[in-house]
Structure 1
Amino acid sequence: MKRLAYLLLSCAALATSCSKDNDATPSGPKEYQVEYKVTSNATVSDYLSYTNESGGNTTLSNTPLPASYKFKRTMKQGDNLTILASIDGGTAASEITCSILLDGKEVKKETGRGVDAQAVPVYVIGE
């Protein structure tokens, strides 16, 4: 009976450790293709700021829309990507949408509406 219990516990431990290995989010650095997309029913974003390839911020003003920014960046779990885009002096029907894509897959999207519409999606690696 002890052998059977030991065998069952060993199998359960092995199955659990294998399951965790397969489901775990990698915490080591990985290179990603990052893309930001900004669309709007307005023709210009008065303010646009995004996390760039070095992890710093790039800030632009009076940016023609739609706009797209692509680059490669090596990131690890806990690193983040952020984009903020706004319209100043729009109308109640104004809209601006920002999307964050990693390796071609959309991971975060946000739409702002109204006179001073803004969208600020944030994505954290491993989220």
Structure 2
Amino acid sequence: MKRLTYLLLSGFTLAFAVSCSKDDATPAGAREYQVEYRISSTTAPASDYISYDNESGGTTTMNNVPLPATYRFKRTMKQGDHVGLLASLDGGTATSEITASILLDGREVKKETGRGADAQAVPVYVIGQ
């Protein structure tokens, strides 16, 4: 009876451990990424407000930024960390638009376009997503 209990308990433990394993090919350890943000508009010469996650993980904010604008830096991140930005136009028209993109190591991972009088583009990317 002890042996049967031991086998059942071992089988349950093994099944539980296997079900909790990750199939994700993204390593959990930290590594350095080349982060690039691109902001552009075909309808406005400037963004009234830009805010982005910077190289230290903090936030950089700017007002009245001429477009197009690009920001590049290196940042060490691990799975679950994120990068994001917000770019907006204020007082435009219904046809106004602004586009913001996030690139990691030269590959575009997220892109959003906001449209309208108060257009906003807010892409966010989570490492391992």
Q: TM-score w.r.t. structure 2 length?
A: 0.81
What is the aligned partner in structure 1 of residue 127 from structure 2? Answer: 125
What is the aligned partner in structure 1 of residue 102 from structure 2? Answer: 100
Coordinate RMSD, CA, aligned: 1.6
Q: Residue 112 of structure 1: which of 111, 114, 124 is its match?
A: 114
Work out the CA distance in 2 between the residues paired with 1:111 and 1:23: 29
Work out the CA distance in 2 between the residues paired with 1:104 and 1:24: 20
2:37 aligned partner, one-letter code: Y
1:60 aligned partner, one-letter code: M
For structure 1, the 5+ residue unaligned runs are 1-16
1:1-127 alignment to 2 at 5 Å?
24-40=25-41, 41-127=43-129
Work out the CA distance in 1 between the residues paired with 2:127 and 2:83: 8
The alpha-carbon distance between structure 1 residues 126 and 21, as it changes in their structure 2 partners (threshold 3 A), is closer
Work out the CA distance in 1 between the residues paired with 2:45 and 2:58: 26
**Percent identity of paired positions between Structure 1 and Structure 2:** 72
For structure 2, the 5+ residue unaligned runs are 1-17
Number of paired residues?
A: 109
**Structure 1 runs, 4 residues or longer, greater than 6 Å off:** none
